[in-house]
Structure 1
């Protein structure tokens, strides 16, 4: 007998899916903000900091990039209580996802910083630009332009990867779907709905990232356009 699709029981519990999607956005948003902050500190520390700091950041990056996120999540949620630190499922999920994203974003941001030649920075200072102008126009914007596709792709993976938090019963979309499935026994219909919601969230965020990219990288004249134009030429001459 062919399987008869029936979405009615699942749709009757649609508010739970909506609440789960909202919780996923909140959880992912908090983890992304924390992870990017870790990535910025790690990238700067690894490129500009003392050797010991660079090595410490390198160990952190390798540990978190070479172990599964699920294992990291379990270690934080089940391991920390052994040393007297008890976290809620959501707090543990945010910390684990943030640390995981921080390791990847450290390397992505470091690649962007290292892509800017030192001679180009020195040229900007030699031409009379302030350090703030050098950081903004010679370092940050060009570096961000280089890494923006990889960085936004990693943020999208972080949003999707938040579903793994359901393994410790964190309140997010996949966990909500599991509860609905156990109530309705409509597994296929439930997870088809969840897949559609994840696709909608992913494409929405990709559109937002595209709009942010247009705003960040739109062509506009800086305060000293002649200096910016001369930086590349001077740096090439000194290379």
Structure 2
């Protein structure tokens, strides 16, 4: 192999790579927070017993889960502006990310909620707690504890999937890497470094989720 490895171009572009990495982190964390809130609301709606609400949520979930993320991204960035909804590529990317994450997380959270024994819910109602209090304190926290590994894996998958938003030129790590590659033509050097960065981001998010687990969700079964 006569390839001449030249990482000087990568080193010279490290401020751009750092900015792209930070933007990827910002997009991912914002999508995780908003997506989780959407999942909580939708999971409550699916278990609330209100039929029209369940049907609307089911339609949302099925549409999102059975269409490609790239198509959803193009819908928010290219299709909606034709109806008068104007926003930047970054905003469209964020909306597509949390809409997608919310749908997948809803099903994960619903499975956790349905694993809670009905007697536990009835005990909460017997203590004169309001239904939303029962949901928040008796159902949601144990459910999150049960499905936290699956939920955190879904969050990390969305962080990695965020590289797709470079297709609409959103300012993320993958988009920055493409710009550097087009300027330097050092494809191998750029993308091996970007691969390492995404790998380290995955490890960092795994560490963060472990800390959140220990701080908020880890407690003895008898408590």
Q: TM-score range by the shorter chain?
A: over 0.9
Tell whether 2:163 aligns with 1:156: no
The residue that corresponds to 2:140 in the other structure is 140
Note closer, same or farther for the CA distance 1:41–1:217 as it changes in structure 2 (3 Å cut). closer
Contact 2:141 2:217 in 1 (8 A): yes
The residue that corresponds to 1:172 in the other structure is 172
The TM-score, its normalising length taken from structure 2, stands at 0.93
The residue that corresponds to 1:23 in the other structure is 23
Partner Cα separation in structure 2 for residue 170 and residue 207 of structure 1: 27
Tell whether 2:82 aligns with 1:82: yes
The residue that corresponds to 1:35 in the other structure is 35
Give the CA deviation at 1:216: 2.2
Partner Cα separation in structure 2 for residue 62 and residue 133 of structure 1: 29
Partner Cα separation in structure 2 for residue 172 and residue 133 of structure 1: 39
SS of aligned partner of 1:48: coil
Contact 2:145 2:218 in 1 (8 A): no
Partner Cα separation in structure 1 for residue 31 and residue 219 of structure 2: 31
The residue that corresponds to 1:118 in the other structure is 118
Structure 2: stretches of 5+ with no match in the other structure: none
SS of aligned partner of 1:41: helix
The TM-score, its normalising length taken from structure 1, stands at 0.87
Partner Cα separation in structure 2 for residue 117 and residue 173 of structure 1: 44
Note closer, same or farther for the CA distance 1:149–1:220 as it changes in structure 2 (3 Å cut). closer
Give the CA deviation at 1:215: 1.6
The residue that corresponds to 2:72 in the other structure is 72
Partner Cα separation in structure 1 for residue 76 and residue 125 of structure 2: 45
The residue that corresponds to 1:107 in the other structure is 107
Structure 1: stretches of 5+ with no match in the other structure: 229-239
Q: List per-residue Cα deviations over 1:97-117 (Å, max 9, x = no partner).
A: 111001001111111111112
Aligned residues: 222
Partner Cα separation in structure 2 for residue 185 and residue 15 of structure 1: 18
Give the CA deviation at 1:219: 2.9
The residue that corresponds to 1:184 in the other structure is 184
- Larger radius of gyration between Structure 1 and Structure 2: 1
Runs of 4+ in 1 over 2 A off after TM superposition: 123-126, 128-138, 216-221
Q: CA RMSD in A?
A: 1.9
Note closer, same or farther for the CA distance 1:139–1:31 as it changes in structure 2 (3 Å cut). same
